[in-house]
Amino acid sequence: MNARTFLLLAGLTAVFGVVGYLIAGQGGMLIAFLVAAAMNFFAYWTSDSLVLSMHHAQPLAPNDAPELYQIVADLARRAEIPMPRLYLMHEGQPNAFATGRNPEKGVVAVTSGLLEILDRDEIAAVVAHEIAHIKNRDTLTMTITATLAGAIGMLANFAMILTPSHNNREGGGVGGIGAVILMLLAPIMAMLVQMAISRTREYEADKTGASICGNPEALATALQKIEAYAQGRVNLTAERNPASAHVFIYNPLSGAGADNLFSTHPSTQNRVTRLMALVSSLAAPVPTGSPWRGRAKSDASRTRRPWG
């Protein structure tokens, strides 16, 4: 976890503490936190099966995609994590995500559209980004974030039913008008911090992924291609399940793409700018024998895809 994520989590914790004390006192804070923790840590333990089922992802066996398997295995070895399970989503929109509560349970899922559109280097770079999420344990970070944000939302609901006299007995001190203000502002503050943490984790996965594959330029071009094609292909499954949008490398929801306070993903241009700044520092060649380098210059190698 990098420093910015830590500071954002600390800020979210502070919001929870202050809002909780003012609205519901120590007892209300405890109830809200325990309920939110139970809900979100259940999702944490079942995150891989839930999101894979949600997006109709099918497992890929080594014989189904031998070259893609080799790419993933080599990248996992370079990242020093166990080989993640590999899944395919039959979806025309190019995209990918990673899930799993720890590196031992890691999963990488890619869409058929991603495999059709990107070349070998770009596919490897996208997989490296997803492996970076697994290596950085971002599923755990986002679960903690969701727990705190959910608890703040519950406290805001408490503000409608708890009376000022009850608050005073419990140690809180907010009146009726203050409760309404907190009810409106607290969830918005929590959501903004939650989205900021999500954007921070994407930047960090870009950086770590570029280091793993040794090719930040390939990840930059992959993101540009994904954005260009994704804008013309609606992912109906993602539209029906918008809560899962943050796990993807590119926001799969229509109309997404701006790097603003209400976005779960940084803008592609900002990500590309940061990645290109890494080119000189990661200029060391990938070791000979890596399955995604050394053959991309010929037209024949460009048309070959690392599956089947």
Domain locations in the chain? 3-281
129 is an annotated ligand-binding site residue: yes
Distance of alpha carbon 66 from the chain centroid: 27
Sign of the CA dihedral with 165 first, then 167, 168, and 174 last: negative
Is 130 one of the annotated active-site residues of the chain?
yes
User: What whole-number distance in Å separates Cα of residue 231 and Cα of residue 235?
Assistant: 10
- Contact assessment for residue 205 and residue 133, using Cβ atoms and an 8 Å cutoff: yes
Residues 6+ apart with CB under 8 A from 294: 288
Per-10-residue mean pLDDT of the chain, 308 residues long, equals 75 76 72 76 76 92 92 96 96 94 93 95 97 92 80 72 50 57 76 86 96 96 95 87 87 69 85 93 52 40 46
Choose, from 67, 91, 116, 130, the residue flagged as catalytic. 130
Alpha-carbon distances of 265 from 9, 162, 220, 248, 277, rounded to whole Å: 17, 36, 15, 9, 19
And the tokens for 65?
A: 């995609």
Q: What are phi and psi of 170, to 5 degrees?
A: -85, -10
C-alpha count within 13 angstroms, C-beta hemisphere, residue 106: 25
CA separation for the pair 271, 224 (Å, rounded): 10
Yes or no: say if 91 and 113 are a contact pair by the CB < 8 Å rule: yes
Instruction: Write down the pLDDT at residue 256.
Output: 57
Q: At what angle do helices 66-79 and 120-135 cross, to 10 degrees?
A: 40
Strand 107-111 with 58-59, pairing:
unpaired
Q: Is 133 annotated as a binding residue?
A: yes
Q: How far is CA 57 from CA 38, 89, 97, 108, 133, in A?
A: 26, 4, 11, 10, 19
pLDDT for the residue numbered 291: 44
Residue 298, CA distances (Å) to 213, 293, 301 in order: 21, 12, 5
Both tokens of residue 235?
């992912």
**pLDDT at site 268:** 94
- 57/286 Cα distance (integer angstroms): 31
* Residue among 93, 89, 100, 94 nearest 60 (CA): 89
